[in-house]
Amino acid sequence: MHFVIGGAYNGKRKWVETQLNQVPYQKISEPGEKIENGVTTILFTALEHWILRHYGRDSDEVVLIWKQEVDRLIKWENGDPARQVVIVGTDQSKGIVPIEKEQRFTRDVLGWCHQYSALKAERVTRVWYGLAEELKTKEELR
């Protein structure tokens, strides 16, 4: 699994599409979303929107759902060497704490979900202003 993180409108999507090099992919944005037969690449985006829709729920419960989704996607990916999962995460704060409760909830839960994604990923890349920086690679796992 490859986790790509960066700020909003910082070139993540363009960078990922360049890396996929015209490989067809299925885009998903909901945990548990059905993976189509024959698909070899999954692109998970817009996690922050899913989290915001769960405002009012227990944050630990929302994080647990995400952890289960990451584990499901890794299991799917490991089922065939041709498969790959790319999760694109949007950094929301860089340390700024929002005033609104729902925005704080989203920022906090998103941060915990991103931490788990980075932990489980074989590769982590930060894209900032269109420039990619490798934070974790497969070689570092050995």
Tell me the CA distances in angstroms from 18 to 11, 22, 59, 96, one per residue in order: 11, 7, 34, 31
Confidence of residue 132 (pLDDT cuts 50, 70, 90): very high
Write out pLDDT tens, residues 27-68: 999 999 999 999 999 999 999 999 999 999 999 999 999 999
pLDDT, residue 139, reads 66
Is domain 2-126 classified as CATH 3.40.50.300? yes
pLDDT, residue 8, reads 87
List the domain boundaries for the chain. 2-126
Q: What angle do CA 28, 64, 51 make, to 5 degrees?
A: 50
Write out pLDDT tens, residues 64-116: 999 999 999 999 999 999 999 999 999 876 667 778 888 889 999 999 999 99
CB half-sphere exposure, 95, CA atoms < 13 A: 0
Matching residue, tokens 């729902």: 102
Residue 106, class by beta-carbon neighbours within 10 Å (0-12 exposed, 13-18 middle, 19+ buried)? buried
Confidence of residue 141 (pLDDT cuts 50, 70, 90): low
Both tokens of 70, joined, read 């990451």
- In the chain, beta strands by DSSP E: 2-7, 26-28, 41-44, 84-91, 123-128, 131-136
Q: What is the mean pLDDT of residues 1-26?
A: 92
